[in-house]
Amino acid sequence: MNRTTDIYLLCPVTNLSPSSELSSSLNTYVNLLEYLGYSIHFPNRDLIQDEEMTFLDMIRRSSFPMSQAKELHIYWDSTSQGSKDAIITAATIGENIERVILLNEAVIKDYAQQMGKRSYEQLILDLKELKEEDVDSLTD
């Protein structure tokens, strides 16, 4: 894989404790993908956030690797504001994204059913469906 970024992992960053089970699981997932030869942008590791960083800085720093990614892998946490911002960014600048993988799809579907058509969770499902349709049109 010689692309700049094969995969962008959209997941919570700010309130994720490095010692949590989720953090450990995400690190294992990233390590496996990299072992398999993929280049992955993992915001918890690759997006340096400091106290001086503005919201605009954060969006700019995360949007370039997202715009280059061929796949978007999502671990959704509806309480993460950064994840909400990132999914909107992905929906607007992610034209190179060919495939969307949902790591906790059942949770996303449950929230979408509860929250309705204009929820972030429904946006994620719509984006996944759109990318599946794009791939299907190439194989017809």
How far apart are alpha carbons 89 and 131 in whole angstroms? 15
Domain with 134, as residue range(s), is 7-139
Q: What is the mean pLDDT of residues 113-138?
A: 86
d(CA 11, CA 23): 10
- Residue 50 has a pLDDT of 74
Q: pLDDT, tens digit, for every residue of 22-31? A: 999 999 999 9
Residue 2 lies in a domain: no
Tally of domains within the chain: 1
- With respect to residue 29, please indicate whether it lies within any of the assigned structural domains: yes
Whether 12 maps to a domain, the answer reads: yes
Q: What CATH number is attached to the domain comprising 23?
A: 3.40.50
Average pLDDT across the chain, whole number: 88
Does some domain include residue 1? no
CA distance 128 to 94: 12
Q: So what's the pLDDT on residue 5?
A: 74
For the stretch 80-108, pLDDT in tens is: 988 999 999 999 988 889 999 999 999 99
Cβ burial of 121 (10 Å; 0-12, 13-18, 19+) is buried
